[in-house]
A and B are shown apart, each in its own frame.
Chain A
Amino acid sequence: MYKTDVRGPLILGDKNYRQISDDVIAPINQPIPGWWKVAFFIALLMAIFGVLALYQTVAVGLGTWGVNNSVGWGWEIINFVWWIGIGHAGTAFSIFLLILRQKWRTSINRAAEAMTVVAVMCAAIFPAIHMGRVWLAFFIFPYPNTRGSLWVNFNSPLFWDFIAISAYLLISASFWYFGMVPDFATIRDKATSKIKKAVYGFFAFGWTGSSREWLRYEALSYVLGGIAAVLVVSVHSIVSTDFAVSVIPGWHTTVFPPYFVVGAIFSGFAMVMTLMIIIRKMYKFQEYVTDSHLNAIAKILVFVSLIMGTAYATEVFIGWYSGSEYEMFTFFKNRVTGDYAFQFWAMVICNAFIPQLFWFKKVRQNLTIAFIISIFINIGMWYERFNILITSLSKDYLPSSWTTYSPTWVEIGIYIGTLGLFTMGVLLFFKYIPMIAISEVKSVLKVTSVNTNDQKHMSHE
């Protein structure tokens, strides 16, 4: 039988099953804390600002943005790719670790998946409004229409993108939801207020935990896990083809799909770390999200950071090795040096150098530093997308079409709005949904905790 001696106990404190339910449900039953209200209010203001900016975009048009003929993709696409990247971690986390039978996922996967769903919703706003006439966005559905039936272009990466994002949103949301059904039943059966019982009872879909249900539940989670693993890799590969299939210098490269997937997992895991440190601190979940959990995430981050550094070096090397003067110019005159050198080096330092601090055990254990590094990674990943988009577009083949780009308040407003939306979504998740997968944590309690009043250990996987 498999025992995680290397990783240490997954759940600290001598917990029993009831304590796990009570601990995880506690934030739902307790009154809303003050910091939550303040954070929600600020996030709401940000979201309202975002709605104003969206209104401006729709009412006046894309002319309110700073994009122009040369730099046709600005902050919207940067932020779209950034959010999709963050949205990768939840599924990557749950599914890869499910397939690899990593039991330490159980305390973290719920929050990671929640983050995924909210981040992908934020991401989906950008391509929709970038179409210009958002009220005609349904034209992208391949449906028999009165335009002849003129079908969409199935060979276009932009259409692939639409398919990939909608599928990803649907699948990650349903994977997340069905994981929560048994926990909703737990809340239903422990609820004392009638309203809570009715509401959580509705969302529990009549779950009882009978062997008939668990059998199919387990089968479903492995089927979804197996096929969604393909999706995790494919979604961001498809996003990268938006760039890689074009002929713009700096984009036209085969390294893009793996580079994007790894980057997405990198920023997503960094966001998971940010979020778990907050959850642990604010809700006192130190016994479930232990130091060794965060240590494991930090180790993944340092490994992925090395891949990121390799990818950056490869891009620059190939820029020289290709012998193409346009590639040479883009990488050496417009990224490593030149107008956008700051953004390039910010990317390299934040993503490839700063996370190397996680090699030191002291840094991994100091959660304040770990928190700051995780924020730096997300800033670095934002600069990476800026770097890819703006440097390549602003100075391409024809010097006569070179231009600069700076965002208007509308573009910044939409970004701030999505940050607010994300924060609101995460805060609502903190309050109304069990942040830790109760039934999954119970299934690893006896195998890996310090709870020793049981002679015979059983494994459930």
Chain B
Amino acid sequence: MNKTSIIGVFDEENALMAAVDQVKKEGIEINEIYTPYPMHEVLEAMGKKTRFTFAAFLYGFAGASGVLAFLYYTSVIDWPINYGGKPTNAFPSFIVVTIVLTILTVTLASLFTFSARAAIYPGKSFILPDKRSTDDKFVIVFDKSLLKGGAEKLNALLLEKGAVEVYEKELHPQN
């Protein structure tokens, strides 16, 4: 767990991206990048994809069919009530409840998925290499043990691309 990491700190997103491109060209593996706001260039560079939207679609599908099935069961099978001779399976008026509860299902299930997949939950112990990265710095982290060419070359590269600081640190989870 407590492996030494090399941490590069940048002031500007352009400098960070230049460094990321160069590092990738040299075949050095990036452990993680921390930014104060979402940057699509970083997400692309890290080669990360998410199947979140597909999961949301599945939740919606499950929610819609579940709610319709529930309405059908309660109104037609379990306790059919005669409202002035209208059909017990009042499909058009079931749609309203179905839409709203489907949206609710998708929202809640997506939130739990987010919480699980991004590992964001109350009381989590987290690793934050440089706490300025939630403020104004762009931080790139490398695993020192995975470096083949030695740390000096990487340090030089990061500084050349405009890193304001490069340092080594053992990362510990904090609360």
Contacts and interface: CB of A to CB of B under 8 A. Distances in A.
A219 B94 CA distance: 30
A443 interface: yes
Interface string B98-129: 01110110111011001101111111111110
Contacts of A439: 36-38
B108 to A, nearest CB: 7
A99 interface: no
A460 B39 CA distance: 6
A345 B92 CA distance: 37
Given A208-B126, A212-B32, A228-B103, A189 B135 contact: yes
Nearest to B139: A209
A155 B80 CA distance: 13
A223 B103 contact: no
A206 interface: yes
Interface in B47-90: 48, 50, 52-53, 56, 60, 70-71, 74-75, 78-79, 81, 83, 90
A149 B132 contact: no
Contacts of B135: 17-18, 21, 186, 189-190
A18 B36 CA distance: 10
A218 B78 contact: no
Contacts of A155: 83, 90, 93-94
Given A151-B74, A154-B75, A216 B52 contact: yes
A391 B99 CA distance: 32
B95 to A, nearest CB: 10
Interface in A429-461: 439-440, 442-443, 446, 454-456, 458, 460
Contacts of A149: 78-79
Contacts of A209: 34-36, 133-134
Nearest to A216: B118
Interface string A14-53: 0011100100000000000000000000000000000000
A18 B70 CA distance: 52
Given A167-B100, A458-B41, A211 B74 contact: no
A397 interface: no
B122 A160 contact: no
Contacts of B38: 214, 217-218, 439, 443, 460
B134 A17 contact: no
Interface residues of A toward B: which range? 35 or more
Main secondary structure of the interface of B (DSSP, over half): helix
Nearest to A238: B96
Contact of B118 (A150, A202, A213): A213
Contacts of B99: 230, 234
A206 B124 contact: yes
Contacts of A442: 36-37
Given A442-B36, A456-B14, A170 B71 contact: no
B107 A224 contact: yes
Contact of B103 (A167, A213, A458): A167
B126 A21 contact: no
A141 to B, nearest CB: 12
Contact of B132 (A189, A207, A446, A460): A189
A167 B126 CA distance: 32
A302 B107 CA distance: 33
B107 A228 contact: yes
B97 A160 contact: yes
Contacts of B120: 181, 205-207, 213
B36 to A, nearest CB: 5
A336 B70 CA distance: 46
Nearest to A455: B14
Interface in A230-280: 230-231, 234-235, 238, 241
A59 interface: no
Contacts of A190: 134-135
A360 B136 CA distance: 40
A163 interface: yes
Contact of B32 (A189, A205, A211): A211
B14 A214 contact: no
A215 B128 CA distance: 17
Given A142-B70, A241-B96, 12 more contacts: A153-B81, A153-B83, A154-B97, A167-B104, A171-B103, A174-B108, A207-B134, A217-B38, A227-B103, A442-B37, A454-B14, A456-B14
13 contacts: A21-B136, A142-B70, A151-B78, A151-B79, A155-B90, A163-B101, A209-B134, A212-B119, A216-B117, A223-B52, A223-B56, A230-B103, A446-B13
A-B complex: 6 closest residue pairs judged by Cβ atoms = A206-B124, A17-B136, A219-B52, A206-B126, A443-B37, A216-B118
